[in-house]
Amino acid sequence: SHSFTHSGVFFGPSNNSTDPLNGQGRKVWLHVQKNDKGDCFHQPRVRGEDSFEEAPMYVAVLTYMNYGIVILFGYFRDFLRAVGLEKCHQAQEREEQRNFVPLYQDFENFYKRNLYTRVRDNWNRPICSFPGPFFDIMERVSDDYNWTFRLTGRTIENVINMGSYNYLGFAENNVDFLKTVAEETRQYGVGVCSTRQELGNLSIHEKLERLVAEFLGVESAMAFGMGFATNSMNIPALVGKGCLILSDELNHTSLILGARLSGATIRVFKHNNMQSLEKMLKESICSGQPRTHRAWKKILIMVEGIHSMEGSLVRLPEILALKKKYKAYLYLDEAHSIGAVGPTGRGVTEHFGVDPNEVDVLMGTFTKSFGAAGGYIAGKKELVDYLRSHSHSAVYATAMSPPVVEQIIRAIKCIMGVDGTTEGQRRVRQLAENTRYLRSRLKKMGFIIYGNQDSPVVPLLLYLPGKVGAFSRAMLKRKIGIVVVGFPATPITEARARFCVSAAHTREMLDKVLQSLDELGDDIKVKFSRHRSSYRPELYDETDFELDS
């Protein structure tokens, strides 16, 4: 099989041999590999493979041709619009301001006008139910080739939801489960109308923060009202001028924005590439700050636990070793991994059997696994105390909504089992099982699937922009809602579909999805995998650091 495997370099052979189909993944997944250095935190698990199979050459050529044709057409139609043969549906600047400097540059809009508009019916599909394993999509039609949409008033009911980040199925409307949330709504209302530092610090916020810290196994935690802002408004409190941020090239926009707002120097290393990171660490420390060559004040490595588009899993043990060797700090964004991986849902640290206290800054969101909104930062008490007094969010942003707080509390309690049930743990296991099942079946069918076998984010590569729209529409016809992404969210040649596995998916749903994908994969011809065995080359072979601490 042709999958670039970059595992096993550090921990010896990975357990490729298990056939996840008949083993159903579960046994394998719970198996923690014993390491001879026996203390409890240093039992690195088998990481499992991250596969990034390369597309056949002809696909790349076709993809570029595909873009070429669309762009040519775009120019042609722009020409027609310019001479007035085609009607331009875009909103226009008002007369009074025609002599202002144009608000948009023309090339900015070219992509939107000529490429995005052709397929834009595949995004922003409005739904009118909770985003559980099924949802109801509001039917919309366009009378002007996707420039505007009209809701028909009909709904497409019971569409299988493969798009929402509902990993543990906490996006639900079960009255019994939501009892406490309803009570809080009745008592508090929905707003707070003040910031944490003024009069918006409710006792339930503090309760939530204690619970988050306990759940993660760290000293302290602070919660914020928006996941995106948790990154963008706290990173500037941690680093500043004279500091260095080493950021993974595929990091989320919120991390990039936070880094940019901090004023620190930013350098970017290749995605999940330890060699690139180490080289950068070494060179940066040796040469110091640019021009002045003064020593860096501190170095912060920023990575994500599970990448939302690649489905890859961070190489945490290696990063921790590097961080220790070079005295850098680690900022770990667990937006997609908290709750979603680890034998009891405690994220990538637990997945790797690493002490969470070894990570300097643990960040995560409540939007995904917990079915709520907001984010947290957790770690040592000094860190959180500092954020309490210096975080932009604590001073300037309205505190979290009480019902949302209660939803997170109930979800965490459920996962921890302190609600007296085993429901949370059942969901964590179910998610792991579903993930392995879907991934292995898709691979068998001949699709190119990116990412780690334990990652519930499952990208299926489509490559050609023309197939993106067709694929998504055909899936919706079969009553399956999927997410497709293309440029600029992915590299230009790597448009893909993405599935997010949920614990709420039953085997029947997954089988229906798989069957549809199988048929569609043949119809639309996106089974690109050639399964030639090969290993990811040279990048990961030379490391000169040791893994233990």
Partner 1 sequence: MLKTVVLHNVLMETVIRRRRSDSVKMAAGQQWVLVEMVQAFYEAPAYHLILEGILILWIIRLLFSKTYKLQERSDLTEKEKEELIEEWQPEPLVPLVPKDHPSLNYDVVTGPPSHRIIVNGKECINFASFNFLGLLDSERVKLKALSSLKKYGVGTCGPRGFYGTFDVHLELEERLAKFMRTEEAIIYSYGFATIASAIPAYSKRGDIVFVDEAACFSIQKGLQASRSFVKYFKHNDMEDLERLLKEQEIEDQKNPRKARVIRRFIVVEGLYINAADICPLPELVKLKYKYKVRIFLEESMSFGVLGEYGRGVTEHFGVNIDDIDLISANMENALASIGGFCCGRSFVIDHQRLSGQGYCFSASLPPMLASAAIEALNIMEEDPGIFRVLQDKCKHMHKALQGTPGLKTVGEPLTPALHLLLENSTGSRTNDLKLLRAIVDYSLDRQIALTLARYLDKEERFLPPPSIRVVVTVEQTQEEMEKAAQCIREAAVKILK
Is 529 among the residues that bind partner 1 (CB under 8 A)? no
Q: Which is nearer to partner 1, 163 or 353 (CB)?
A: 163
Is 497 among the residues that bind partner 1 (CB under 8 A)? no
Residue of 42, 89, 86 whose CA lies nearest to 353: 42
State both tokens at 3: 């999958």
Of 38-46, 390-398, 465-473, 510-518, the window that binds partner 1 (rule: CB under 8 A) is 390-398
Buried b / exposed e across 380-396, counting CB within 10 Å, b at 16+? eeebbeebbeebbbbee
Of 68-76, 232-240, 412-420, 434-442, the window that binds partner 1 (rule: CB under 8 A) is 232-240
Is 164 among the residues that bind partner 1 (CB under 8 A)? yes
Is 361 among the residues that bind partner 1 (CB under 8 A)? yes
Of 57-65, 345-353, 383-391, 524-532, the window that binds partner 1 (rule: CB under 8 A) is 383-391
Among 9, 211, 238, 245, binds partner 1 (CB under 8 A): 238
Among 1, 142, 158, 194, binds partner 1 (CB under 8 A): 194
Is 32 among the residues that bind partner 1 (CB under 8 A)? no
Is 483 among the residues that bind partner 1 (CB under 8 A)? yes
- Distances, alpha carbon 137 to alpha carbons 51, 155, 158, 255, 368, in Å: 33, 6, 8, 32, 20
Contact (CB, 8 A) for 13 and 48: no
Q: Which is nearer to partner 1, 442 or 480 (CB)?
A: 480
- How many positions of this chain bind partner 1 (CB under 8 A)? 123
Is 57 among the residues that bind partner 1 (CB under 8 A)? no
Of 26-34, 210-218, 236-244, 436-444, the window that binds partner 1 (rule: CB under 8 A) is 236-244
Of 26-34, 97-105, 459-467, 472-480, the window that binds partner 1 (rule: CB under 8 A) is 97-105
Q: Which is nearer to partner 1, 316 or 400 (CB)?
A: 400
Cα four-point dihedral sign 346, 348, 352, 356? negative
CA dihedral 522, 526, 531, 532 (to 10 degrees): 120
∠ CA 166-117-484 to the nearest 5 degrees?
A: 30
Q: Which is nearer to partner 1, 360 or 518 (CB)?
A: 360
Q: Which of residues 127-146 bind partner 1 (CB under 8 A)?
A: 127-132, 135, 138
Q: Which is nearer to partner 1, 46 or 235 (CB)?
A: 235
Whole-angstrom distance, CA of residue 435 vs CA of residue 342: 13
Is 282 among the residues that bind partner 1 (CB under 8 A)? yes
Looking from the CA of 162 toward its CB, the CA atoms found within 13 Å total 30
Is 296 among the residues that bind partner 1 (CB under 8 A)? yes
Helix crossing, 402-416 with 423-445: angle to 10°?
80
Is 383 among the residues that bind partner 1 (CB under 8 A)? yes
Is 328 among the residues that bind partner 1 (CB under 8 A)? yes
Cα four-point dihedral sign 56, 120, 456, 537? positive
Give the DSSP H or E segment for 112: none
